A and B are shown apart, each in its own frame.
Chain A
Amino acid sequence: ALSKSANIDKPAKYSVPTLCEMCVNKCALIADVQDGIVKKLNPNPLFPKSRSMLCARGAAGIHALYDPDRLKTPLIRVGERGDGKYKEATWDEAFEYIKTKLVKIVDEEKDNRSCIGYCAGEGMAEHTFKSFMANKFGSTNFLNHATLCLQTTIAGYSTTIGGYGQADLENAKYIIMAGANRAEAIVTPDTMDIFKRTRGRGAKLITVDPRYTNTAMHADLHVPIKPGTDLAFVLALTYVVISKELYNKEYVKNNFNDFDKYQKHILESEYKPEWAEQITGVPAGTIRTIAHDFMAAAPQAVYYQGRRSTWTKNDFQLRRAMALFSALGGGVDVKGGIVFGSKLPLAAHEINTPLYFNAEPRIEGDAAAIIGSSGSWVEWRNMVEADKAPYPIRGMFVYKQNPMLSVPDTARTRKVFEKMDLVVVIDTMPSDTALMADVILPECSYLEREDPIRSFAGIEPAIGLRQKVIEPMYDSKPVIEIMRGLSAKLSKPLWEITKKHDEDVQDELEGEDELAYYQENGFDLTEPYLHSQEELNKHAFVEKYGEEAWKTIRKTGVYYPGMEASFKKINNNSYQYYPEDKKVYSVLPVEEKTDASPADIAPWKRTFNTPSKKIECYLGNFAKKGIDPMPTWRQEQHVDVPAGKFKFITGRHALQTQNSTQNNVMLLELMRENFAWINDAEARKLGIEHGDTIEIESSVGAVQIKAYPTPKIVPETIFYVHGFGAKSDGLTFAYRNGASDNEIIEAGSEPVYGSAIMHETLVTVKKV
């Protein structure tokens, strides 16, 4: 049956406003249902973040829901890891299997909960999973996607200007988009804002990229750059601006900390445009022009933050240099610059977290200067693979992530899974990683569940609600119900292990009532999952906005105070959300109170969310850990391309999301496989023509893929998009289409956060 009986109570035709999960943007949509079948996903114009739009992936979400290959019941492995042989099981059988293995492992490891690692992809239910594994089960070995993604960018901006912020692309006059590709890596509202304002319509766009992307075609100036040299480019821009004193002196005087050190460093290092030209391939004259034009447009000028992965060893320094460059023009916390916006509050749920005396700290804590709570995926994996962990990692819980495709050096990731005594995967699809599991638990899709309500920060902040459109199909469940079942099964048996091994607990229990102690100290693992998600959301929302607003958001999917009065349709293409005077551009406290416009107050003194309350040029605490306190070019770290080799780079496009949508039949016809970009002149020399199969080999692996010779990529560089090349034969349509980038990317990490370096692998290319 396609849907369960609960749908029978509903009218034949109805619509539900909810949030998309085809990528990370969470755009608002309205799902039309007829006779229990989701027929169409339409954009919901009420949401200021996504306005009125759904991209190709968003509109194709129906085919994720009705994908014939979806995981339909819990599965228990009967064959070898990776061979795809499983038997169907009930939820109770699956939980029982997990319990038996887990209790044995935790007992043998003497209640060191960290012997089980866990990882999660980004998503609205990620925290529900994490709260169980971190807070209730008690493992420290969490890996989220950050160190495969935007860790260095977020950190670079946060340590420098006190936050990542949002580029106000609706008002910026000059935008440098380097590496970021908003036409193909869609981010709302940025993508919607910028491409209505390019080509002489108020925003000058400069793209800096080894590839001529769909974003570059909209640029006033496209600057091809050698991969891995962006830091030299930014430092040279900075040199021009400082040496010619083009920066906003008042803003710098009021808001920069240690500017004198940065000024001295930039000038004494002689980061001249001619120096940068040698490294980057960008003409010195171009660098000078960009520096002058940027500062002429400042403070409405942005060196766009981007997101993406870490490219090279110097990535953190690059992001710092970018943030400082924007700030030199005064374009931070001002309309048309980088703004911080505001966020509507929601009530929090406290979790009663037990303390496990025997739980060890995470294994890779010393692998980089700062390993945060989300770990370093590559370093963690490398330690487990090489048996270098200080204690055995014997199991892994994976939610909505596909490390077999997303972590560099796939062969080593496979070895890690092969070693483990227990691998549990929660997903909607039989991914390459699911095939490494002992137990696969089928999550329902985003259209079949309510997720934790979410507040979206921004210039026009709003709250969005993901609501269930139809009942979960097959025997799938939302994560909160999976955690409810799992915690009920595990709580008491794991408590017995803790009592057996945890001396602190043994001491504290003496003379105490055991059941009361167990409950009061959080050892009852079931407590956070007893209520339905709807009840939890109602509680989080009603406390702040009341019952009436709750009724509204369930009907609209979106809420912000004043919405009913200020939301207006201007025409079929444009809407007003907040009136102009209610939009949140400058938020940092300034010394004086005034009615002056945001642009006027640009140079004023602010209080930044950094240790010195100013923009940080010099990070003294980082220097103590051996990290350059100021962005510095280290030629010895730069990877040159020897003759006959290429540098491999990767990226995204608008038609598939990472490695999660390649089995979607609608998206498959937009893009069936990935092609390897190679400079057309070089391809001619190698006798490679369009569509030829080529072999690309690095020190860790080789792939075969079709070639796309093009003038749109700089020489000595090979590119193909991430996400293809799945080897799971459970994916009927995605199976072995194209190639996976991580089969050939070497597993290096940068020194500050241990983020995986994606753009330093050298490869050879030959026609097959």
Chain B
Amino acid sequence: MMNYAMALDYQNCINCRACEVACKEENGVQLGADKQRIWVGIVEGSSNGKPFVNLYPSQCNHCIDAPCVSVCPTNASHYIKGGIVKVEPDKCILCKACMESCPYDARFIDDTKVSVDKCTFCEHQIEETGTTACQATCPTKVRTFGDLDDPGSDIVKLLKTRKFFFQKEEIGTLPKLFYLVPEDETYAQQSIGPNTKIHTWEEIQPLYERAAITRSQSWKQ
């Protein structure tokens, strides 16, 4: 079985937005500033008179318990091989229930497809390239895509060496964007909320594996 996920060394992000453009070009995403399958979240402010900026590159979490799939009345939102969450445009009736239910605001309406649209982890090219357009193009290599079920995959090798956290973990959707905790304590403190749980692979792996096994019956080939 395969269980695709993405680790993000978000401390490398320079907000150059190469990933956004590569994604749009690779996947034919509708033009428009609000039509993004992936994006860079920006938190900006000042503390003690000094400005700071935190960047959180993001995209669909391909949650193992994805609320967007559960709420979809027509099964347009569905899982495919590797636990990737996809939308079947022909079945989408634009009811927007999935957009409402997504904790990550990862979905938008693509007017050219007359359908809700979102990240697919570039599933059409995984077999050929083993990567996604966003990972391939990134100048500072923020992203590592891979299979959580393969102990030899780039992502598992990385997660074994680095602590990580999830965004909005408390909602319980078992998201699959693994944000890597920066080595630098000051920056980790600046960029990770005080109530955020920090995980290790050893500790989280059994939970994700069990959930994936339970879910995988619906992960169509």
Contact = CB atoms under 8 A, between A and B. Distances in A.
**Which 5 A-B residue pairings sit nearest by Cβ, starting from the closest?**
A200-B184, A183-B14, A199-B184, A654-B16, A573-B141
B109 interface: no
B52 A217 contact: yes
A56 B53 contact: no
Interface stretch (A112-120, A282-290, A663-671): A663-671
20 contacts: A53-B137, A57-B21, A59-B18, A59-B25, A183-B14, A183-B16, A186-B16, A188-B139, A192-B140, A196-B12, A198-B11, A200-B182, A200-B187, A217-B54, A572-B131, A573-B141, A574-B141, A654-B16, A666-B25, A669-B32
Nearest to A200: B184
Contact of A58 (B18, B49, B131, B187): B18
Contacts of A711: 46, 49, 51
Contacts of B137: 42-43, 52-55, 58-59
B22 interface: yes
B117 interface: no
A253 to B, nearest CB: 38
A214 B18 contact: no
Interface string A705-731: 000001110000000000000000000
Interface in A461-498: none
B31 interface: yes
Interface string B9-53: 001101111101110111000011100000000000010011111
B53 A214 contact: yes
Interface centre among B51, B54, B144, B184 (most CB of A within 10 A): B51
Contacts of A215: 14
Contacts of B21: 56-57, 59-60, 666-667, 670
Contacts of A186: 16, 139
A15 to B, nearest CB: 12
Nearest to B12: A195
Given A184-B14, A218-B14, 12 more contacts: A41-B25, A42-B133, A42-B137, A43-B137, A53-B137, A56-B20, A59-B18, A183-B16, A199-B183, A669-B32, A670-B21, A712-B51
What is the interface of chain A mostly: helix, strand, loop, or mixed?
loop
Contacts of B182: 199-200
Task: Report, as a range, how many residues of chain B touch the other chain.
Answer: 35 or more
Given A59-B25, A666-B31, A670-B20, A572 B144 contact: yes
A573 B25 contact: no
Nearest to A41: B25
Interface string A627-641: 000000000000000
A60 B25 CA distance: 8
A40 interface: yes
B18 A573 contact: no
Interface centre among B24, B145, B185 (most CB of A within 10 A): B24
Interface in B84-142: 130-131, 133, 135-141
Nearest to A222: B50
A186 B137 CA distance: 14
A57 B22 CA distance: 10
What is the interface of chain B mostly: helix, strand, loop, or mixed?
mixed
Interface centre among B16, B21, B138 (most CB of A within 10 A): B21
A196 B139 CA distance: 10
Contacts of B51: 212, 710-712
Contacts of A40: 25-26
Interface residues of A, number: 47
Given A52-B136, A666-B31, A214 B22 contact: no
A652 to B, nearest CB: 12
Nearest to B33: A669
A53 B53 contact: no
B150 interface: no
Contacts of A212: 51, 53
A53 B182 CA distance: 23
Interface of B: 11-12, 14-18, 20-22, 24-26, 31-33, 46, 49-55, 130-131, 133, 135-141, 144-145, 154, 182-185, 187
B145 A191 contact: no
A416 interface: no
A184 B53 CA distance: 14
B31 A654 contact: no
A41 B137 CA distance: 10
A57 B11 CA distance: 22
B209 to A, nearest CB: 23
Contact of A191 (B24, B133, B139): B139
Contacts of A217: 52-55
A666 B154 contact: no
A262 to B, nearest CB: 35
Contact of A665 (B31, B138, B139): B31
A394 B13 CA distance: 50
B18 A56 contact: yes
A62 B17 contact: no
Contacts of A52: 136-137
A671 to B, nearest CB: 9
Given A195-B140, A200-B184, A654 B154 contact: no
A666 B122 CA distance: 20
B22 A54 contact: yes
A571 interface: yes
Nearest to B24: A666
A602 B22 CA distance: 42
A43 B136 contact: yes
A439 interface: no
A197 B154 CA distance: 20
A199 B140 contact: no
A200 B16 contact: no
A582 interface: no
Interface centre among A186, A188, A571 (most CB of B within 10 A): A571
Nearest to A670: B17
Interface in A269-295: none
Given A666-B31, A669-B31, A670-B20, A195 B14 contact: yes
A699 B20 CA distance: 41
A183 B15 contact: yes
B17 A654 contact: yes
A218 to B, nearest CB: 7
Interface string A43-67: 1000000001111111110100000
A464 to B, nearest CB: 18
Nearest to B131: A572
A218 B139 CA distance: 15
B23 to A, nearest CB: 9
B140 A572 contact: no
B135 A55 contact: no
A571 B18 contact: no
B136 A572 contact: yes
Contact of B18 (A55, A201, A712): A55
A146 interface: no
A421 B31 CA distance: 43
Given A665-B31, A670-B20, A572 B130 contact: yes
Contacts of B130: 572
Contacts of B11: 198-199
Interface centre among A55, A62, A222, A665 (most CB of B within 10 A): A55
B136 A42 contact: yes
Interface string A737-748: 000000000000
Contacts of B17: 56, 654-655, 670
Given A56-B20, A60-B25, A670-B20, A192 B139 contact: yes
B81 to A, nearest CB: 19
B75 to A, nearest CB: 31
Contacts of B31: 665-666, 669
Contacts of B50: 222
A181 to B, nearest CB: 10
A670 to B, nearest CB: 5
A711 B49 CA distance: 8
Contact of B140 (A56, A62, A191, A666): A191
A636 to B, nearest CB: 33
B18 A53 contact: yes
